[in-house]
Amino acid sequence: MFAYALRRILSTIPVVLIVAFFVFSLLYLAPGDPAAIIAGDQATPADVERIRASLGLDRPFVVRFADWFWHIMHGDLGTSIFTNLPVTHMIAQRIEPTLSLMILTLIISLTCAIPMGVVAAWKHGTWIDRAVMVTAVFGFSTPVFVIGYLLAYIFALWLDWLPVQGFTSISQGLIPFLRNLILPSVALGLIYMALIARITRATMMDVLSQDYVRTAKAKGVGQRGILFLHALKNAAVPIVTIVGIGFAALIGGAVVTESVFAIPGLGRLTVDAILRRDYPVIQGVVLLFSFVYVLVNLAVDLLYTLFDPRIRY
């Protein structure tokens, strides 16, 4: 177990290096010159070149990357071109709303999707199964911004039950915190929930047809014990896999959801930075999201050994 975990942890190091290189490369190869944007429409070519030199954009690509990565290794993500604030400071200011949104979305998605998938597999072919699958197809096929605007219209504008936008820190009270986050979490979680529910249903149907399940039934094990103690445990590996893979959709959806509900998180920060060509901020946020995604997949790999001790590759 320890050797396997150590190998998986060490294997993430080259992945992070490759991700860092691509993040730096793609942004600097993208169209648009931040120096020209900062200088404005009335600037002369000499003004643009002077700004490029002050930002270090006139240096060779390899030199810029080496200098950027050296600072990254020391915890310095650079300085924003437009606000002149450290990127780490800007991320620290915005990380609570995004982290809160993603944690609440995960809780809602997992607590709803797994029981839905289990029940759909148990009641295969019935109206319950069809209802779960229709809900899953709807959630997976509808863009998150459409779901967000629909929920905002119904529960915020029409029924006036919940606020339509904004964020309240949990330090100001649990109820105001949940009131602001419940709509965006449900809107973002529907896609994630649909994905997990479909995989759970398919995996559980395969497991429920196995011989050991029939043996458990013959021994008099109750339906709840068969579903949640025998079948779900053996179906856990594909479910955990899809939870890790779907985390990328959760990160991407958070950017859209924060824009729809005006949540001042990392998603809004990323959108604003892209519109202004603020490269250091874009690089810092994308690198952070990529690193979190790598850590999630590492955790998924380590969880495999808990659900299936035979995995030791």
Within a domain: 256? yes
Q: State whether 190 and 253 are in the same domain.
A: yes
Q: State whether 34 and 93 are in the same domain.
A: no
Kindly tell me if the per-residue pLDDT of 222 is higher than 80: no
Within a domain: 79? no
Within a domain: 178? yes
pTM: 0.79
Q: State whether 137 and 60 are in the same domain.
A: no
Instruction: Give residue-wise pLDDT tens across range 258-296.
Output: 888 888 888 888 888 887 777 788 888 888 888 888 888
Kindly tell me if the per-residue pLDDT of 313 is higher than 60: no
Contacts 24+ apart (CB under 8 A), 274-278: 276/34, 276/37, 276/81, 276/82, 277/32, 277/33, 277/34, 277/37, 277/81, 278/34, 278/80, 278/81, 278/82
Instruction: Give residue-wise pLDDT tens across range 91-130.
Output: 888 888 888 888 888 888 888 888 888 888 878 878 888 8
Q: State whether 36 and 169 are in the same domain.
A: no
Torsion angle of the four alpha carbons 59, 84, 286, 151, in this order, in degrees rounded to the nearest 10: -150
CATH of the domain at 117: 1.10.3720.10
Query: What total number of domains does the chain contain?
Result: 2
Q: What is the pLDDT of residue 33?
A: 64
Q: List Cβ neighbours of 105 (8 Å cut-off, separation of 6 or more).
A: 185, 188, 189, 192, 250, 254
Within a domain: 312? no
Give the least confident one: 39-48, 104-113, 251-260: 39-48
Q: State whether 62 and 130 are in the same domain.
A: no
Q: What domain range includes position 203?
A: 87-307
Q: What's the CA gap between 136 and 191, in Å, rounded?
A: 8
In which band, very low, low, confident or very high, does the pLDDT at 230 lie, cut at 50, 70 and 90? low
- Distance linking the first and last C-alpha atoms of the chain: 10
